[in-house]
A and B are shown apart, each in its own frame.
Chain A
Amino acid sequence: MLELSELEHDALTELFNIGMGLAASSLSQMVHEEIKLSVPHIKLTTRDMVVKLLAEETDNSISGIKQYFSGSFNGDALLLFPAHKSMELVRVLMGETLPLDALTEFEQEALSEVGNIILNACLGSLANSLHIEIAYQLPLFVQGGSDDLLDGSSDIILFLWVNFTLMEKDIKGYVVFLLGMDSITQLQQQIAILLREI
C-alpha cells in the first residue's frame, strides 16, 4: 500500500494550505464576505475507501465540479459537497433562499465558479511549489453518488477535506485528486525535490 511519509504529508498539507488561503481570499473578495477555509486534512488512499466514506458522509447525494488536468502529472480534480450543503453554499453566496431541492442552472454556474477558484488555488499552489506545468480544462458541474462521480480510471486518490465557514455556516467540502499510478510517483518525486531544496 502506497503511503505518504510524515514529511511528505506535512509538505503537501502546507502546500495545499497556501492554496486554500489564496482561494479564501479570492472568494472573500468576490462576495464581499469573509470566507474561511480550514487547513485541509490530507490522505492518500484508495478509491474504494473514498467512495465508501463519501457515501456515508453525504447520504450518497453529492454535487460538485470536476476538472481534468494534465501536465507533469494528470488526472481529475474534484470539489465535492453533500448535495444539500452545495445548495446551502451557493444560496448563501447568491443571497437567496430557494425552496427548490435541486441546483438551478445559475446555481450550477455559481458552484462552478467557486469550485474553479478553489481548485485553481490548489493546483496553482501545487504547480508553483513543485515548479511544474499543469494545464486543465474548464470545470464541469457534476452530481450523483460517490461511485459514479469517481470513475474507475484510478485506484489511488489524494483526498483532502476542507471546511468552509461563511456567514456563520460551516460547510464541509472535499477535494479529490484522482491520480494515475505514474502521477503519484511523479508527485512523490517532486515533493522529494522540494524537500531537498528546503
Chain B
Amino acid sequence: MQHLLSNNLLENIVDHNAVGLIVLDAEKEVIVWNRWIAHYSGKSEADVMGKSLADIFPELPADMYLFKIVEDIYQDHFPKIVTQSLHRYLFPLYQDIKTKKNRIKQNIILHALNSEEKWYVLVQIFDMTASDRREQILKEQAYQMQQLTQNLQDTRTYQYALLENTLDALITFDNNGHILSVNKAATRMFNHSLEELKFKHINTLIIDYYSLEFKTFLDNIIETVAINSEGKYFPIEVGTGSMFIEEQRIFIASLRDISERKKIDEQLRFFALHDNLTGLANRILFQERLDSAIALAHRQSEMIAVMMLDLDKFKEINDSRGHRVGDLLLKKVAEVLLSAIRDVDTVARLSGDEFAIILLALQDPEQAILVAERILQYFSEPLVIQNFTLKIGVSIGITLYPYESNEADKLLSYADTAMYKAKNSGRNCYQYYSAELHSETLHRKELEDSLRQAIEKQELSLYYQPQIDLKTGKLVGAEALLRWSHPQKGFISPVEFIPIAEESGLIHEIGRWVMEEACMQNKRWQMQGYYPIVISVNLSAVQLRLKNLANDFSLLLRKSGLDAKYLELEITETFLMENADSSLLTLKELRALNVSLAIDDFGTGYSSLGYLKRFPVKKVKIDRSFVNELETDNDDAMIVKAVISLSHSLGLKVIAEGVENKQQIVFLRAEECDEIQGYFISKPLSKDDFEEQYLNVEDQIYLTLEN
C-alpha cells in the first residue's frame, strides 16, 4: 500500500484524520502526532516529537493504567481497547484547551505495528463526547421513564389494594350491562368465583338494576335487592358512578350488604313502636295503624271500630300490691285483649293502664259490642296474680268509622270520651259514643278551659258554714266550701266542676289554692283578734294520692303562720276504705303535723267503726243522708244513734251535717252528738258575711239549751 502513497499524502491523511493519532516507536517515543491530538492537547507536534507519553503529559500519574497498557502491547502485541466507561481519566484533552473546560471523553484503541523487525504502537483516540451526551440524555429519560413506571405501578398497586381490601363489593360493567371486573368483596358477597362473575349480566346480581330507571341511580345511593349464587335475596345499598375509558362508557357499582343493618333497623323499629312490657303496639304504632286502617276502610267502604279501654282502680292495685303485680296485671290484660280480637285487628297500650283497639272491616256495629262484651265477661271474674286475688273492672269507650268521624284524632278522642262516660256510669261497662255525649264533651271541655282560668281571674272563693257545739250552743268551727262564680254562667256547683278538675289534673292547683286560702283567712281572723276556730277543708282522693302531700301542707302552714290545730282535713269514708293501705302513711304524716283529720260522709262506705281505729282520725262526720230523714226514718235514727255511741266509745268526736230542723237537733242532742252543721243554723256564707255574723259577735249562743 505504501508504494502507492507519497509521504506527503500520508502526512495529509494523518493530519486530516478526525481521530487522534499517535505513533510510538520501539523506544516508546512519539514519532507521529496529528493535528487533532495537537489541537485538543494543546501540544504541538514540535513539542512532543521524540518524547515519551509520560514526558509529554507530566501531570498524569506514572502508574496510570494507560501507560501500563502501552507497556503491555509492546510485550504481547495484541490490540487493546481502553474506554472512558471504565476509566475516569485518560489523556488530558479538552474541547477548549485554554480554559481546560469540557474534557473530552475518549475511547482509545492501541495496535502493535511491525515494520522492518521493529515494533511500533499506533494509538487512536476517538472523541466520545457527543456519544456521551446522547447517552446521558438517554439515561436521564430512562430514569424518568423508570420513575414514571414505578409511580404508575405504585399507584396501581395502591389502588388495587384499596379495591381488593374494601369491604364493599365493586363491579364494573359496560353499557350493555355486562360485567367487566369485580373485586374480592364482590366474589364473597355473591358467593361466585371471579370467572363466574365475569361477563354475567349485572341484573343477574342486582334485581332490575340496569333498567329504564338506571339514569336516576347514577351518582346516587339506592337501596335494592341482590341475589347470590344460592338464589338467596339480600338487601343492598348501591352507589353508581360512570367513567369513560377509551371512549367507552363504563359503569361502576359499589355494593354494600345491609342485611345486618336492616335487621337492626327492624329491631329498633319494633322497640320504637311497641310497648316493652306487654309487647303490644305503642301509641305511635297505633296511630300509624289507625291511619292506614282508615285509608283502607275508605277505599273499600268498610266500617272500623276504635275502642279505648281503661282499667278501673289500677292505680290502687299498683300502689297497694306493688309495681311487680301491676306489671303482671298489665301483661295479663294484654293477653286477654289479644285473645278477644282477630289477627288483623290491633291492640295497643297507649299509656299506664290505658289500652286501645282497632277492629277492621266490621259488617255490623254489633261485632264491636260482641268484642267489648267478651272483654267485660272476662274481667267479671277476679284475676289471680302472684297469689293476690284481684277484682278488675274495665271501662270501654267505642267509636265507629265512618259514622262518628273519619279522622283518626277525633275517633280516638271520642272513644276516650265514651270511655270516661262508661267509667262514670258505673264501671266495668262499655259505652258507645253518641251525639249527646258529644255535646256533653264540648260542655266539659268548655268548663275545663274556663276552670283553668278561674283561679287567675279570682272566680273561685271559699264559703264558710258554721259548726256549732251542741252542748254550749257556741261556734267551734266552720267548713270551708268551694264556690265558683262563672262570669257568664253564674254559680257552678262543685258537683259539676270537681270531677272535671280531677280528670284534668286541675284539682291539684285548685286544692292548693283552697288550702292556702282557708289557712290564710283563718290566720287573718285570728290576727284581727277573733276567738280562734277550726276551719275544716275537704281533701279530694286525687290529692291524697300525692306522695309529698304532708310536706306541702307543712310548708303551707308555715307560710300562713296558722297553728295546725286550727286546720281540719275531711277525707271521705269511701276513699279511706278503698285505699286503706296506700293512704295510711300519708294520713299519719298529716297527723304528725298536728292537723286534725275527720271522716266525711260517714255511713256511706259500709265500713266498720272498729276499722277506724287504724286511722289517726279524731272526728266522724255523719252523712247528711242519714240526718235528713232522722225524724221520720227509724232505721236512719238507729244508725245515727249507733254511730254516735260507738264513735264516742272509740274516743272520736261526732258531727252531724245537713241539720235542717229542730226535731233533728233534739234527737242529736239526746244522743249526745258533739257538733252540728246545716241550714238550720246557717247556709254557707261568704267570708265577709261569716265574719260579720259569727266572728264579730262576742259569746253568741246560737242554740238555746232548752227544747
Contact = CB atoms under 8 A, between A and B. Distances in A.
Interface of A: 29-31, 90, 93-94, 98-100, 104-107, 109-110, 112-114, 116, 120, 123-124, 127, 135-139
B61 to A, nearest CB: 13
Nearest to A117: B80
A106 to B, nearest CB: 5
Contacts of B68: 29
Contacts of B143: 99
Nearest to B131: A105
A137 B79 contact: yes
B78 A106 contact: no
Nearest to B143: A99
Contacts of A136: 78-79
Contact of A104 (B82, B87, B138): B138
Interface string B46-80: 00000000000000000001001000000011111
Contacts of B683: none
A113 B82 contact: yes
Given A29-B65, A109-B84, 8 more contacts: A29-B68, A93-B86, A109-B107, A110-B86, A112-B81, A113-B83, A136-B79, A137-B79
B135 A120 contact: no
Interface in B77-112: 77-87, 107, 109, 111
A106 B85 contact: yes
B82 A124 contact: no
B642 interface: no
13 contacts: A30-B87, A94-B85, A98-B139, A104-B139, A106-B84, A107-B85, A109-B85, A110-B83, A112-B81, A120-B76, A120-B78, A138-B79, A138-B81
B546 interface: no
A107 B84 CA distance: 10
Contacts of A138: 79, 81, 109, 111
Contact of A113 (B85, B132, B138, B145): B85
A119 to B, nearest CB: 9
Interface string B114-135: 0000000000000010011011
Contacts of A30: 65, 86-87
Q: Which of B79, B87, B135, B138 has the most CB of A within 10 A?
A: B79
Question: 6 nearest interchain CB pairs?
Answer: A99-B146, A110-B85, A109-B83, A106-B85, A113-B81, A113-B83
A104 B143 CA distance: 14
A10 B585 CA distance: 125
B370 interface: no
B76 A124 contact: yes
B26 interface: no
Contacts of B107: 109
A110 B107 CA distance: 10
Contacts of B146: 99
B135 A106 contact: yes
B128 A106 contact: yes
B142 interface: yes
Q: Which of A93, A94, A106, A110 has the most CB of B within 10 A?
A: A106
A29 B131 CA distance: 26
Given A90-B85, A109-B107, A98 B77 contact: no
A93 B146 CA distance: 22
Contacts of A29: 65, 68
Nearest to B75: A124
B300 to A, nearest CB: 80
A116 B73 CA distance: 12
A124 B78 contact: yes
A106 B83 contact: yes
Q: Which of A94, A100, A109, A136 has the most CB of B within 10 A?
A: A109
Nearest to B108: A113
A99 B145 CA distance: 9
Contacts of B132: 106
Contacts of B86: 30-31, 93-94, 110, 113-114
A106 B77 contact: no
A99 B146 CA distance: 6
A130 B78 CA distance: 16
Nearest to A109: B83
Interface string B130-161: 01101100110011011000000000000000
Contact of A112 (B78, B83, B142): B83
Contacts of A113: 81-83, 85-86
Nearest to B68: A29
Contacts of B85: 90, 93-94, 106-107, 109-110, 113
Contacts of A106: 83-85, 128, 131-132, 135
A105 B86 CA distance: 13
A145 B456 CA distance: 114
Nearest to B111: A138
Contacts of A124: 76, 78
A164 to B, nearest CB: 15
Nearest to A120: B78
A142 B583 CA distance: 117
Given A99-B143, A99-B145, A105 B79 contact: no
A135 B77 contact: yes
Contacts of A127: 76
Nearest to A29: B65
Contacts of A98: 139, 142
B658 to A, nearest CB: 119
Nearest to A110: B85
A27 B68 CA distance: 12
Contact of A109 (B79, B81, B138): B81
Contacts of B87: 30
Contacts of A120: 76, 78, 80
Contacts of B145: 99
A138 B73 CA distance: 13
A184 to B, nearest CB: 22
Contacts of A123: 78
Nearest to B82: A113
A110 B86 CA distance: 6
A139 B110 CA distance: 12
A94 B138 CA distance: 16
Nearest to B77: A135
Contacts of B81: 109, 112-113, 116, 138-139
Nearest to B80: A116
A95 B146 CA distance: 18
B135 A105 contact: yes
Nearest to B73: A120
Contacts of B84: 106, 109
A137 B109 CA distance: 11
Nearest to A32: B65
A30 B135 CA distance: 23
